[in-house]
């Protein structure tokens, strides 16, 4: 197997190593380190990273990685798995999306050894983690006061990436454009195929999103031959996800207090009322309606809006929207059964 060294620590085949990788200091001269867990099988195979909290207030991914670490069934048969639960440690400490220099880390890649703080963290993460890998899964949530339906965003025109997205196991895929300065852009430029998992809301744990994330990562590792497929899953039919042709946000038509009519995961038809906006005295000031038929994959949660605020993110498909809504319901029933005695291993 090829030699693997991360921040001066060699990870040998057959080992499980925890690394605290220094990234910078606080004003108090306190070291800030990025926590990393590396698992290497004795047999050669792909190297995969799973990262979370590139935006420091997006916490679901941290819990997904915590559960993966505790998962008794996570035993690598080949390859290397690098788990990074907190990339933006500064943001996690301050419960903020941003770095202390007010920069968005996910717009600061590839970064620079001698650049801004965000640029230096981006550079080190890229050099020490991403550049060792063949594949990556970057875990995200919606922004503060916004929830996302579990979904995968990726370069679906690439056959191998599309295969990973298909097996992840969420109902909705978006063929997402690259953003300048994003981790995904820099990873792809380095030859690393990457999935971006979006689910849940900032500063909150969402159990459905967490379970779908744990299951999705394990599905990808099994697809790459890095872990054994779960007993009973070999003959199980894989449900095909649906690829969105496009998506857009529907915005508030006026300012006021919101009464939601439609919710995350609902199928909507053109002209459907998604929400009413009223005055403090109960008068309906306006309605928000769907401009096209589709599925709600993102939603603002705070019941107060200003005119023009983004309220509902709707994805558009060529397939029957009702079938997609049924698939979303199936995912919810599968991962969150009514009588839930599921353990971490079952997630």
Among candidate residues 188, 223, 258, the one where a domain is terminated: 223
Residues 50 and 216: their CA atoms lie apart, in Å, by 11
* Cβ proximity of 153 and 297 under 8 Å: no
Range of the domain at 71: 5-223
* Residue 251, phi then psi, degrees to nearest 5: -110, 160
- Work out the burial of residue 221: count CB atoms within 10 Å of its CB; fewer than 13 is exposed, 13-18 middle, 19 or more buried: buried
**Tens-digit pLDDT profile for residues 30-56:** 889 999 999 999 999 999 999 999 999
Among candidate residues 191, 223, 255, the one where a domain is terminated: 223
34 Cβ contact partners less than 8 Å away, ≥ 6 residues apart? 20, 21, 22, 23, 84, 86, 87, 89, 121, 124, 125
259 Cβ contact partners less than 8 Å away, ≥ 6 residues apart? 275, 276, 277, 278, 303
- Judgement on whether residues 155 and 267 belong to the same structural domain of the protein: no
Of the candidates 272, 276, 278, 274, the one whose C-alpha atom is nearest the C-alpha of residue 287 is 276
Residues 218 and 229: their CA atoms lie apart, in Å, by 9
**Tens-digit pLDDT profile for residues 305-325:** 999 999 999 999 988 888 899
Residue 125 is predicted with a pLDDT of: 98
Q: How many residues does the chain have?
A: 347
Token output for 261: 């009519």
Quick one: average pLDDT of 63-89? 97
- Judgement on whether residues 261 and 176 belong to the same structural domain of the protein: no
Residues 167 and 219: their CA atoms lie apart, in Å, by 6
Q: What's the domain count of the chain?
A: 2
- Judgement on whether residues 261 and 130 belong to the same structural domain of the protein: no
pLDDT for residue 344 is more than 50: no
Residue 338 included in any domain: no
- Judgement on whether residues 76 and 176 belong to the same structural domain of the protein: yes
């Amino acid at each position: 197997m090829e030699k693997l060294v991360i921040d001066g620590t060699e990870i040998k085949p057959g080992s499980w190593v925890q690394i605290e990788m220094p990234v910078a200091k606080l004003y108090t001269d306190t070291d800030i380190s990025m926590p990393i867990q590396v698992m290497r099988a004795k047999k050669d195979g792909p190297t995969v990273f799973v990262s979370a909290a590139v935006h420091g207030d997006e916490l679901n991914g941290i819990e997904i990685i915590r559960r993966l670490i505790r998962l008794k069934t996570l035993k690598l048969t080949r390859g290397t798995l690098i788990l990074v639960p907190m990339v933006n440690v500064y943001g996690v400490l301050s419960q903020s999306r941003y770095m202390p220099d007010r920069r968005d880390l996910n717009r600061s890649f590839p970064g620079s050894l001698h650049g801004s703080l965000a640029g230096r963290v981006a550079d080190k993460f890229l050099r020490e983690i991403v550049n060792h890998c063949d594949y990556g899964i970057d875990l995200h949530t919606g922004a503060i006061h916004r929830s996302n339906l579990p979904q995968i965003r990726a370069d679906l025109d690439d056959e191998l990436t599309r295969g990973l997205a298909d097996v992840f196991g969420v109902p909705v895929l978006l063929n997402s454009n690259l953003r300048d300065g994003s981790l995904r852009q820099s990873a792809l430029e380095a030859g690393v195929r990457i999935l971006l998992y979006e689910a849940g809301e900032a500063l909150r744990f969402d159990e459905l999103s967490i379970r779908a994330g744990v299951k999705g990562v394990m599905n990808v590792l099994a697809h790459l031959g890095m872990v054994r497929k779960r007993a009973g899953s070999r003959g199980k039919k894989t449900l095909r996800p649906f690829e969105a042709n496009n998506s857009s946000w529907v915005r508030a038509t006026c300012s006021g207090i919101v009464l939601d009519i439609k919710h995350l995961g609902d199928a909507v038809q053109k002209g459907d009322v998604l929400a009413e906006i009223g005055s403090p005295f109960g008068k309906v000031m306006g309605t928000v309606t769907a401009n096209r038929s589709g599925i709600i994959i993102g939603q603002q949660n705070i019941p107060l809006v200003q005119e023009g605020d983004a309220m509902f993110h709707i994805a558009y498909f060529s397939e029957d929207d009702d079938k997609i809504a049924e698939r979303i319901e199936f995912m919810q029933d599968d991962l969150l059964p009514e009588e839930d005695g599921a353990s971490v291993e079952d997630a």
